[in-house]
Homo-oligomer: A and B are copies of this chain.
């Protein structure tokens, strides 16, 4: 995680940073983003408010960094860093597998609350939104781009398809269902999305 804020961070307290991360994640999970306040983070973290304002420009940036730390930490524990979508030779199976894992993660409340909050904040604050997309979302999407390119080389996906658009056919529906509660999110659903996307809606 790179420091994005003002002072030179040589003397920065690592203890304080970690405590703030943990307090922020805990509060968002327990009380919700709306009821999470800077003062509410500072108090249980045993930290002065100024220590937060010194290093982060907003509540959302605190949460973004805390969440990135959390994600990175879990990835490291799962020993899948750097991660790539597996290539068994069967694109459909590989995509279904990784989307099922994504579904599982979206249903884990520890991940759901912060990412939903960050998404919401990003909708209204464009600058933050771009940071959220660039750090959280786009790296994941690039995994799909790479897997689809491999599938194109293997002849399983048409060569004239743009992978960056193609991946949206199954990723975006899942994202919208989850974010906006427009429908149930399940393994069966993502399996269906992959089938529809790969083979189309029109009869052959």
Taking the full assembly, how many copies of this chain does it contain?
A: 4
Beta-carbon nearest neighbor of A34 in chain B: B124
Chain B CB within 10 Å, residue with most, of A116, A175, A177? A175
Residues of B within 8 A of A204 (CB): 204
Given A169-B169, A200-B199 in contact, is the A126-B181 Cβ separation under 8 Å?
yes
A121 to chain B, nearest CB (A): 7
Residues of B within 8 A of A192 (CB): 162, 165
Contact B34 A182, beta carbon cutoff 8 Å: no
A180 to B171 alpha-carbon distance, docked (Å): 13
Give the secondary structure class of A's interface: helix
Is residue A39 contacting chain B, with contact meaning CB distance below 8 A? no
Contact A201 B120, beta carbon cutoff 8 Å: no
Is residue A27 contacting chain B, with contact meaning CB distance below 8 A? no
| Chain A 61-83 interface residues, beta-carbon cutoff 8 Å to B | none
Q: How large is the interface on A (under 10, 10 to 19, 20 to 34, 35 or more residues)?
A: 35 or more
Contact B120 A169, beta carbon cutoff 8 Å: no
Beta-carbon nearest neighbor of A92 in chain B: B202
Given A124-B117, A168-B176 in contact, is the A198-B202 Cβ separation under 8 Å?
yes
- 12 A-B pairs with CB atoms under 8 Å apart are A137-B180, A165-B173, A165-B189, A165-B192, A165-B193, A165-B196, A169-B173, A169-B197, A173-B173, A199-B201, A200-B201, A204-B204
Q: Which A residues have a C-beta under 8 Å from some C-beta of B?
A: 32-34, 116-117, 119-126, 129-130, 132-133, 137-138, 141, 148, 155-158, 161-162, 164-166, 168-169, 171-173, 175-177, 179-183, 189, 192-193, 196-204
